């Protein structure tokens, strides 16, 4: 009996020590620039365009030691910008649509593509961003339609990156609360909103934990596990002769490099749908729409590596 009490007592001491340590870490991390993303405003039937909670601020940082820190603002319309959008303004407007490449939480707004374009336009025009991390081509069309009906831009720019193609398909989606393409009912994709999933109690707790956010975003715990082969290689890793893993585990352009016939065919169908839907959503002639396609980075910085990547899924989709 004495031995049982001793074991229970030691276990309680260990549990209390761990809880105390975690609590202290949580408190300390509340006072340092952990990479807190702005809260998302869930979509509804009346407001189906996913955005961030309006008039909020955010902090973004990189690395376990916060070697890059950025403080930013979400405007009244729910987008990353130092100014609010005006539906009554009459100066020419260019709408820039995209994902994290356009919202750019990591850098000051005046250094982003949209901030630089607005500075170049000055009082002669306006540049508004409609973007959120994780958005695919299907969501871009929804953003374009929203921008067109609400703000009536004269020009639209859409930035396309490597994971935008298959993630437009509902079965391959990365985030809910956005528009995706569902299996066709009449020969065409069904284009509709994927309702946001209600987070579990554990998810809600973790989203409000500085320690959990620090481990996930600053430390990159998934990357650490990957070093010990507990996870697949991270996005951006390039196939080389030295790689011993299967080609399906390698990434080019933030998406899996391997693409079988079914994936390539589906990707081409998504592109066809996108190019057909974009002008209609914009209510503009094709000449007033610019599509920017990201390069294959870091492959493009080395001729040999770039040549080897020409058969990758993203290379085929770019072409």
Q: Quick: pLDDT tens for 161-197.
A: 999 999 999 999 988 999 999 987 666 899 999 988 8
Contacts within 8 Å (CB) and 24+ apart, 82-88: 82/109, 82/110, 82/115, 85/128, 85/151, 86/126, 87/150, 87/151
Domain co-membership, 8 together with 85:
no
CA–CA separation, 57 and 120 (whole Å): 25
Q: Do 48 and 16 share a structural domain?
A: no
260 with 310, same domain: the answer is yes
Instruction: Please report the pLDDT score of residue 230 as a whole number.
Output: 39
Same domain, residue pair 5 and 152: no
Regarding whether 43 and 22 lie in a shared domain, the answer is no
* Whether the predicted pLDDT of 312 surpasses 50: yes
Q: What is the pLDDT of residues 196-211, one digit of tens each?
A: 888 888 888 888 899 9
Closest CA to 92 of 164, 158, 155: 155
At 46, is the pLDDT very low, low, confident or very high (cuts 50, 70, 90)? confident
pTM for the full predicted model:
0.85
Residues 112 and 16 in one domain: no
**pLDDT by residue (tens digit) across 244-295?**
333 344 889 889 999 889 999 999 999 999 999 999 999 999 999 999 999 9
| Domain match, 142 and 52 both | yes
Q: Which range, of 9-18, 225-234, 250-259, averages the lowest pLDDT?
A: 225-234
Q: How far apart are CA 279 and CA 267, in angstroms?
A: 19
Does 202 lie in the same domain as 58? yes
Q: What angle do CA 151, 156, 160 make, to 5 degrees?
A: 130
Output the pLDDT for position 188: 81
Q: What is the pLDDT of residue 236?
A: 34
**Do 4 and 93 lie in a common domain?**
no
Same domain, 16 and 92: no
Most confident of 43-52, 116-125, 232-241: 116-125
Query: Which residues, other chains included, contact 88 with Cβ-Cβ below 8 Å and sequence gap of 6+?
Result: none
Q: Are 234 and 226 in contact (CB under 8 A)?
A: yes
Domain that holds residue 24: 1-31
Count: domains in the chain: 2
End-to-end CA distance of the chain, in Å?
A: 74
Q: Are residues 221 and 303 in the same domain?
A: yes
Q: pLDDT for 127-174, tens place per residue? A: 999 999 999 999 999 999 999 999 999 999 999 999 999 999 999 998
* Cα distance between residue 190 and residue 111, in whole Å: 37
pLDDT at site 183? 86
Q: What whole-number distance in Å separates Cα of residue 146 and Cα of residue 68? A: 33
Query: What is the average pLDDT score of the chain?
Result: 88
pLDDT at 198: 83
Verify that 131 and 22 share a domain, yes or no.
no
Q: What is the band of 42 on the pLDDT scale with cuts at 50, 70, 90? A: confident
Q: Which pLDDT score is estimated for 87?
A: 95
Q: Residue 190 phi/psi, 5° resolution?
A: -85, 120
Given a cut of 70, is residue 240 above it in pLDDT?
Answer: no
- The burial class, CB within 10 Å (0-12 / 13-18 / 19+), for 23 is exposed
């Amino acid at each position: 009996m004495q031995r049982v009490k001793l074991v229970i007592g030691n276990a309680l001491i260990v549990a209390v020590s761990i809880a105390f340590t975690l609590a202290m870490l949580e408190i300390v991390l509340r006072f340092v620039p952990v990479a807190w993303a702005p809260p998302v405003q869930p979509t509804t039937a009346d407001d189906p365009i996913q955005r961030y909670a309006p008039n909020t601020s955010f902090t973004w940082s990189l690395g376990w030691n916060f070697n890059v820190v950025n403080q930013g603002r979400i405007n009244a319309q729910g987008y990353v910008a130092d100014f609010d959008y005006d539906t009554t303004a009459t100066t020419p407007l260019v709408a820039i649509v995209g994902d994290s490449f356009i919202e750019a939480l990591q850098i000051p707004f005046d250094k982003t593509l949209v901030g630089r374009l607005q500075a170049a336009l000055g009082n002669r025009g306006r540049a508004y961003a409609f973007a959120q991390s994780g958005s695919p081509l299907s969501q871009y069309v929804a953003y374009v339609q929203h921008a067109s009906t609400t703000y009536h831009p004269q020009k639209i720019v859409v930035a396309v990156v490597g994971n935008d193609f298959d993630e437009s398909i509902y079965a391959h989606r990365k985030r809910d609360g956005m528009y995706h393409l569902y299996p066709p009912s009449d020969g065409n994709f069904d284009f509709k909103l994927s309702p946001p999933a209600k987070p579990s109690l554990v998810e809600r707790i973790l989203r409000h934990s500085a320690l959990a956010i620090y481990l996930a975003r600053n430390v990159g715990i998934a990357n650490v596990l990957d070093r010990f082969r507990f996870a697949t290689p991270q996005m951006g890793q390039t196939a080389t002769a030295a790689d011993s893993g299967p080609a399906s585990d390698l990434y080019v352009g933030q998406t899996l490099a391997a693409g079988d016939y079914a994936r390539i065919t589906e990707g081409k169908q998504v592109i066809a749908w996108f190019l057909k839907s974009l002008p209609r959503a914009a209510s503009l002639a094709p000449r007033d729409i610019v599509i920017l396609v990201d390069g294959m980075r870091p492959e493009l910085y080395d001729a040999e590596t770039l040549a080897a990547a020409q058969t990758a899924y993203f290379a085929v989709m770019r072409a």
